[in-house]
Amino acid sequence: MNLNDFSLRKLFPLALISTCLAVPLTGCDFQLGPSDDNNNGDNNGGGNNGGGGSIGGGNDGGATIGTLTDASDLEVNFDSNFSLGNIDISIDDIPAVSSDLEDGMVVTLIIEDGAPSNLATGTVTSLEVNHLLVGPVTSLNPFEVLSHEVITTADTELRDISGEDVTNLAIGDIARVSGFANRQNGILATRVDLQPGQFSIWKMTGTVENLTANQSFTIADQNIILNGTFPDCGTRELAEGDYVEVTAIPEENFSPGDDLSTLLAVECLTVALPALRADDDDIETLPAQMEGTVTSINSITEIFVDDQEIELGSNVSYLGGTATDLIVGAKIEVEGDLDLDTQVLTANTIIYHERRILIEAPLASSDVTVNTSVNFFGLDIPITNLTVDDDLIVSSGIADRQVRLFGFTDEDQNPFAISLSNEGVIDDEDVTLQGPVSRVGGNEIEIIGISVDGGNVLNIQGSVEEEDLVIVENAEVDGSTSITDGVVSEIETVFEQRENN
């Protein structure tokens, strides 16, 4: 990959494709997709770099945005197994080959005619990877790339990093980050790796803040100088709150706190499924799957995942969590049918790939470490840039209220907070706890380390085991690390399937 490749791809994409068709490129061991005779010339894109591109030549297949969980088999989110057809592959807008694909990358796939309705198999005709960040490590605690904090968990693929621990990186190392972002500049990483050779570009993806028109803006804590670069936002000017991708020429001797000023482009992004269409006029919908972050909840039947409109039918099934867990900031996978006219995805199934936790319980001010963590029943839960705290519970440190926390745990049962809210006066007799079982024994079970007894615990003990997801409702406080007398029930998950892969 080199800067010339990137510039051509950004500025003259059709010329670059024509060159590939006419002259075999060194290292181009892939076949391109449909020829111009069957292609309307629209972008086959999607995912983190724009979405909404139309498929050339008609299609009766489908589309997927998700995480590669086995790149060698083109497995996405543990339950698909695709094959490569005549295909365009790109990584950060630069032509790539199948051997460049790695576990943990977030991909946008277009699948050709003949795929089953659940998209478990099929032949891929277009594949894009777009990293959220490519650039120098600017902090280790917290971990930051280009002054943008990145949350890694036990589920994050860490490659070419000593000890698979980001704290072993050095300031100035050039890292790539794949994952999912909210619109408050929170990033949950699915993969972090070091450069596989010399990166030709740096890039940032995030929400515009502190905009000075035609001069500068920030993403997270990184100041960006336009230096005459004209942002591409269609017919309007760049605005505060826009979600953008910034690409830049690598800067020698870049240090934490420096401005990013060697810009190539600033582009407003729409993150959504590629626009599908069918050869057959009688086909009104095609199967589609999208993994992303809930950005808004407009009603009980309409939400947005990134910029993709999702319609919630009356028979939606939930795995790994419940409808209650469907909050702004939650990362989910939506499986359903994409309307070819409206491009609205009607959800059949919503999957939470990380077990969801929910705690509603008394929270004392002494259990809040300002801007750092909250502690429920001895469980310390860190506050990160993924956490929405509109009621200023953590930033003020003033609690002594009933507080509701939504979040998730990684595969090692480390908890992460997604949102906190003030639910009013403390009520020791109305506690809710949801999370994975950490121990079963005696007359109790433990959920993420919190002891639960009484109620129907003895009756359910024979049907649950460690790591099962359960919820306890209408329980009472029973000491500093335990609750009692709640109604315990199990929540269906897909983790057994994951563990068998």
* Tens of pLDDT, residues 398-433: 889 999 999 999 999 999 999 999 999 999 999 999
Q: Which segment of 83-92, 131-140, 285-294, 443-452 scores lowest on mean pLDDT?
A: 83-92
pLDDT of residue 20: 33
pLDDT of residue 8: 40
- Nearest residue to 84 (alpha-carbon basis) of 126, 132, 137: 126
Residues pairing with 410 in the sheet: none
Are the beta carbons of 383 and 333 closer than 8 angstroms?
no
Q: How many residues does the chain have?
A: 501
Query: How many C-beta neighbours within 10 Å does residue 122 have?
Result: 25
Higher pLDDT, 112 or 17: 112
Banded pLDDT at 495 (limits 50, 70, 90): low
Tokens of 140: 């280790």
pLDDT of residue 28: 32
pLDDT of residue 408: 97
Q: Which segment of 51-60, 97-106, 158-167, 323-332 scores lowest on mean pLDDT?
A: 51-60
Q: Which segment of 33-37, 170-174, 313-317, 480-484 scores lowest on mean pLDDT?
A: 33-37
pLDDT of residue 170: 95
Are the beta carbons of 303 and 313 closer than 8 angstroms?
no
pLDDT of residue 44: 33
Question: What amino acid is encoded at 163 in this protein?
Answer: G
Judge whether residue 340 has pLDDT over 80. Answer: yes
Q: What is the mean pLDDT of the chain?
A: 86
Of the ranges 13-22, 51-60, 482-491, the best mean pLDDT one: 482-491
pLDDT of residue 140: 96
Judge whether residue 49 has pLDDT over 60. Answer: no
* Burial tier of 174 (Cβ tally within 10 Å: 0-12, 13-18, 19+): middle
- pTM value? 0.86
Judge whether residue 238 has pLDDT over 80. Answer: yes
Burial annotation 130-167 (CB, 10 A radius, 16+ → b, else e) = bbbbbbbbbbeeebbbbbbbbbbbebbbbeebeeeebe
Q: Is CATH 2.40.50.140 correct for 285-351? A: yes
- Give me the sign of the Cα torsion angle 297, 328, 467, 336: positive
Q: Which segment of 46-55, 237-246, 406-415, 446-455 scores lowest on mean pLDDT?
A: 46-55
Banded pLDDT at 280 (limits 50, 70, 90): confident
All CATH 2.40.50.140 domain ranges in the chain, comma separated: 285-351
pLDDT of residue 196: 65
- Nearest residue to 399 (alpha-carbon basis) of 365, 442, 376: 365
pLDDT of residue 19: 32
* Tens of pLDDT, residues 193-203: 997 666 679 99
Judge whether residue 24 has pLDDT over 60. Answer: no
pLDDT of residue 200: 79
* Tens of pLDDT, residues 241-270: 999 999 999 998 999 999 999 999 999 999
Judge whether residue 358 has pLDDT over 60. Answer: yes
Nearest 10 degrees: Cα torsion 94, 97, 102, 107:
60
**What is the C-alpha separation between 125 and 106, in angstroms, rounded?**
17
Per DSSP, which regions of 58-156 are E strands?
62-70, 75-76, 81-91, 94-95, 106-111, 121-129, 133-140, 143-145, 148-149
Are the beta carbons of 60 and 113 closer than 8 angstroms?
yes
Tokens of 54: 């139309």
Judge whether residue 372 has pLDDT over 60. Answer: yes
The C-alpha R_g of the chain, in whole angstroms, comes to: 23
pLDDT of residue 378: 96
Banded pLDDT at 281 (limits 50, 70, 90): confident
pLDDT of residue 43: 34
* Tens of pLDDT, residues 126-145: 899 999 999 999 999 999 99
Question: What is residue 260's DSSP assignment?
Answer: B
pLDDT of residue 452: 97
